[in-house]
Structure 1
Amino acid sequence: MKRKTLVLPAVVGLLAPVLAACGGTDSGADGKGAIVVGTTDQLVASQENPAPLDPAIGYEAGVWNVLRQTVQTLTTVPNGGGEPVPEAARSCAFTDTANESYRCTLRSGLTFADGTPVTAEDVKHSVQRVIDIDAESGPVGLLANIDMIETKGEDQVIFHLKTPDATFPYKLATPAAGIVPKAQYPAKAARKGFQVDGSGPYTMKPEVEDGRVVRIAFEKNPSYKGELKVLNDKVEMDLFPDTGAMGKALDEKKIHLMTRAMSPEQAHEMLVSPKEGVDLTELPGLAISYLGFNTKDPVVTKPVRQAMAQIIDRGQIAGKVYGTTAEPLYSLIPSSIAGHTNAFFNKYGEPSTAKAAKILDKAGVETPVKFTLHYTSDHYGPATAEEFKAIQQQLNASGLFKVSVRGEEWSTYRPEQKRGDYAAYGMGWFPDFPDPDNYTAPFLDANNFLNSPYRSREAEKVLIPQSRRAADRTAAADAYEKLQDIVADDVPVLPIWQGKQYVASRDGIAGVERSVSATSELQLWELNRPNA
């Protein structure tokens, strides 16, 4: 989910409140105790995934929102962007000009929350187990380029890479490389359940009902040593089944913040009619929404996918469904990321049924093309169903398609999508780090995030390796332009929109503008009560 090697000026400085409402009191009678954060992220254990919070298994924004608070990584990306800086490490650097050997030295006196020393062997164990477990839907792809991990003494770790990768420091900054204690995390198997232990800024205690987390209590870890400044003692995360329940809790002063994911209607209502005692803060967002395809399915052939790209009106979908919270996207790489091009608009222009009909007619495709467009009903927010009804209406109105839509819960949806059960489906992407590599390689490289059968030899064997050799990320612009053109031509995925983020908070809470990163991860340590 994240990496980077250049400062992104489009991200820096965008964290700013869009409105402030006056009055109100802190939730909680005396303004003391835990700061309570609401979210609609769902953390569920199932027979298929009994270990959703193991760093070797969990690869979702909601999971990483928990891991970020509890496990340390060797490096971290500064708030607002920039190159990674040491976190659990006191220093990290490439030791060769080819960017194939990366050495980190741990901070002295570093311990896990229980007082056990953190050693280089713990780091090696933590990263190696992600590779060895190789979870089907896990984050192993971020670490797949590691050839060997070497330790020297108690505090030095050297990562030897298979191929040059200037983005590797960003990958080490993700929870995929989170450092966990060997005694509690088996080398070849996942740690079941919801408990997370590490050396991060907080310890955690989950409250579970029927295999589902309903609340997590985070307490400041007194043993924490790292780059982050923890500005509070306790934070509680309440997990709600939907945005309506979360909004009601904010109104009733049962929570201080409403975060992932506010509905577009809630954000619009607060913008138009500010609530007394509530602030709405707009944050930069790098999340994207897109359609994916099983490119081996005979129904969604390349001409069919191109015709869909020609018909779908992204602007109408973004405006009608999401209002001010989204804007149309014409590439896998968002417009706020260096290297972005409007590849799909450059190829297809404005939506046109006539042009789509020519594409299908030239390929001899019989119309209307019939298939089911699948989406997850409980993972990306309440507007998802409306979005896919809008896409269905656009395609069917052309007369060239006869599409039905179907929603499934994420626990069912994701395994079926990975198996290739769906010809066409909707997905979202919350980047692991703000670099164009993280919007291309996860979809086009071997062992890609979608388990897609699509392959482009030029992308996989030439352009992705070429782009990763550039320590100066601006030097990789040509490679990313070609990658975006390949995606626009072959349409293995079809970008729809990129989003903004909003956080609603009650008066008396500071640090809200820094509490969610541009990559949609909670940074609970930034929250505080300045007047408490």
Structure 2
Amino acid sequence: MSQGSRTTRGALAAMGVLAAVSLALTGCSPSGTPAPSGSAAADGGKLVIGVTSDPDTLFPWKATQFQAVHVLENVYGTLTEFDKDLNVVPGLAESWEVSDDGLTVTFKLRSGVTFEDGSSFGSEDVKSSFDKIMDEATAAVSAASLASVTKVEAPDEHTVVLTLSAPDAALPANLAVLGTAILSSDDTEQALNTEPNGTGPFSFKDRVASQSLTLVKNENYWGDGPKLDSIEFRVIPDESSIVAAMQSGNVQFAVFDDPLVAKTAAGGNITVSNTPQLSYHALQLNARKGALTDVNVRLAIQCAIDRQQVLDTAALGEGEVTGPITSPAFKSDPSARPCPDRDLDKAKEYLAKAGKSDGVTVHAIVSQGEYATSVNEAQNVKSQLAEAGINLDIEVLESGAYVDRWIAADFEAAIALNGGRPDPDGMYGRYFTSTGNLNKVAGYSSPELDKLFAEGKATSDPAARKAIYDKVSLELENNAAWIWMFTSYTYTATTSSVQGFTPMANGSLQYLRTTTVK
């Protein structure tokens, strides 16, 4: 599409997901599309959400911090979306078709969609966005989601054609995440970090650093418009203080990680609902640094940790021990690992094989402020490892500093809560393949994993994909790439005035668009 066919900002200023496999094979018909704009109820009202940290970025392609993602997923749009059950449904693309050989995917885009600044959305923006996400210089966190794409074409204003190197069953689900959000081709990272400009249900209004960020209703949103007039994400340093703010009526909504805080919040004017999450708590090990380059040291750490004890200590037992893959259709068996139960004798045997019978020190980073159980997890893991002669030297960092260190892979180990996805390729293809854009962070890859991930994307049969990702899980566990510990819940707290919000297993707050405040 030529620039001339597009309404520019200057002119306007002058004028004043779990079904990824089947969808990849059959495409998606327009019948599943949301209703056009104009049908939303004009409920109005302002919602104040308590959060413990300020977003560390406003640029969607680099957002990994949960607080940043929660804000930006309400501002930006993606070609596909997840519904409440994590099925993949139309987003900015109203339909798509996959060629018989699986190597071409053609998207039909919605017409009449505009960005927040009033400029029109079209195929030029999709092509520009995907080309930039795939450009290594952009350092987009979801670049691997487009790893199979060899060419992006925009034959007309409302059509985008992706040419693939191989069939990609995971592609529809991978295009539903914030990291593949569609940006205006006119925008830059520098501009968007100051003033976001998306096609989502809410628009950016203002931000007071370390205090608050406010979104307002996007009156021109293409789907059912949001019912709220505005949302304020108010920064309150800890979850207990957020509870106090809710009890005093200053905050109406919060999502807690700490089950103890959730229990104290419930009652009176506050209702708390818990939602099992795809996100997982792990001790990430960088197999390219220090003593962790020896697989025997990593296996010693794996055998020295009682995962249920970490869960019981840090999260009151509310959750379950997990293996690497939490996606429901591909879930790992947590007993399929070298030490499914804690085995200190085995841990010491592995240390002896590594020539570390006298003990070893591993340096670990942990975030304070991004999620509530992090420091308690770190302290419990440290205590357990000490019994095996492993000293976990913990460095506690504020959320932004932690993310910076994490993205730079500037750590030997990291206590982490990572977001899960409905498709395992989206979860781990970017981490554990040798060409994955976050492989530096993962600290581990192998030719076998490269082969398995390629097979998983190219295979359409669900049972065959499950068998492939079972092998992926075993490869990760047998080499103790990371130490997967447990999955837990999020606790959505709302005052009685709040109605219509639907929590999701991927932690998304996208249903703020259906929320009302009496």
Q: Does the 8 Å CA contact 2:144/2:429 hold for their aligned counterparts?
A: no
- Correspondence 1:131-280 to 2 at 5 A: 131-132=134-135, 134-136=137-139, 138-183=141-186, 185-186=187-188, 190-191=190-191, 193-209=193-209, 212=210, 214-226=211-223, 228=224, 230-259=226-255, 261-270=256-265, 274-280=266-272
Give the alignment's Cα RMSD to 1 decimal: 2.3
User: 1:79: Cα distance to partner?
Assistant: 1.3
- CA deviations on 1:99-118 (whole Å, 9 max, x unpaired) are 32211111222222343221
Corresponding position: 1:297 with 2:289:
yes
- CA deviations on 1:397-432 (whole Å, 9 max, x unpaired) are 23x22332221223333333444442222222113x
Q: In structure 2, how many angstroms separate the alpha carbons of the residues matched to 1:5 and 1:328?
A: 26
Q: In structure 1, how many angstroms separate the alpha carbons of the residues matched to 2:138 and 2:368?
A: 24
The residue identity in structure 2 corresponding to 1:280 is V
- Paired positions, count: 478
For residues 126 and 491 of structure 1, do their structure 2 counterparts lie closer, same or farther at Cα, with a shift above 3 Å needed? Answer: same
Q: Does the 8 Å CA contact 2:141/2:437 hold for their aligned counterparts?
A: no
Aligned partner of residue 274 in structure 2, secondary structure: strand
Where structure 2 has 5 or more consecutive residues not aligned to the other structure, the ranges are 1-16, 23-42
Q: In structure 2, how many angstroms separate the alpha carbons of the residues matched to 1:296 and 1:262?
A: 31
User: 1:257: Cα distance to partner?
Assistant: 0.7
Q: In structure 2, how many angstroms separate the alpha carbons of the residues matched to 1:123 and 1:349?
A: 45
Corresponding position: 1:40 with 2:33:
no
For residues 417 and 118 of structure 1, do their structure 2 counterparts lie closer, same or farther at Cα, with a shift above 3 Å needed? Answer: closer
- Residue of structure 2 equivalent to 1:312: 305
- Residue of structure 1 equivalent to 2:70: 65
For residues 165 and 457 of structure 1, do their structure 2 counterparts lie closer, same or farther at Cα, with a shift above 3 Å needed? Answer: same
- CA deviations on 1:339-366 (whole Å, 9 max, x unpaired) are 2232555431321111212222244333
- CA deviations on 1:152-175 (whole Å, 9 max, x unpaired) are 111101111233211111122122
User: 1:306: Cα distance to partner?
Assistant: 0.4
More helix by percentage: 2
Q: In structure 2, how many angstroms separate the alpha carbons of the residues matched to 1:276 and 1:232?
A: 24
Q: In structure 1, how many angstroms separate the alpha carbons of the residues matched to 2:91 and 2:406?
A: 36
TM-score for both structures, normalised by structure 1: 0.84
Q: Does the 8 Å CA contact 2:314/2:377 hold for their aligned counterparts?
A: yes
- Correspondence 1:73-472 to 2 at 5 A: 73-82=78-87, 84-94=88-98, 96-132=99-135, 134-136=137-139, 138-183=141-186, 185-186=187-188, 190-191=190-191, 193-209=193-209, 212=210, 214-226=211-223, 228=224, 230-259=226-255, 261-270=256-265, 274-300=266-292, 301-329=294-322, 331-334=323-326, 337-343=328-334, 345-381=336-372, 383-398=373-388, 400-431=389-420, 433-445=421-433, 446-449=435-438, 451=440, 452-460=442-450, 462-472=451-461
Q: In structure 1, how many angstroms separate the alpha carbons of the residues matched to 2:138 and 2:318?
A: 33
Where structure 1 has 5 or more consecutive residues not aligned to the other structure, the ranges are 8-30, 45-51
Q: Does the 8 Å CA contact 1:332/1:440 hold for their aligned counterparts?
A: no
User: 1:190: Cα distance to partner?
Assistant: 4.3
Q: In structure 2, how many angstroms separate the alpha carbons of the residues matched to 1:173 and 1:373?
A: 32
The residue identity in structure 2 corresponding to 1:42 is D
Q: Does the 8 Å CA contact 1:104/1:156 hold for their aligned counterparts?
A: yes
For residues 428 and 287 of structure 1, do their structure 2 counterparts lie closer, same or farther at Cα, with a shift above 3 Å needed? Answer: same
For residues 109 and 362 of structure 1, do their structure 2 counterparts lie closer, same or farther at Cα, with a shift above 3 Å needed? Answer: closer
Q: In structure 2, how many angstroms separate the alpha carbons of the residues matched to 1:354 and 1:417?
A: 32
The residue identity in structure 1 corresponding to 2:97 is A
Aligned partner of residue 338 in structure 1, secondary structure: helix
For residues 170 and 160 of structure 1, do their structure 2 counterparts lie closer, same or farther at Cα, with a shift above 3 Å needed? Answer: same
- CA deviations on 1:248-273 (whole Å, 9 max, x unpaired) are 211111111112x3422212334xxx
- Residue of structure 1 equivalent to 2:36: none
Aligned partner of residue 254 in structure 1, secondary structure: coil
Task: Report 1 or 2 for greater relative contact order, CA contacts < 8 Å, sequence distance ≥ 6.
Answer: 1
The residue identity in structure 1 corresponding to 2:69 is W
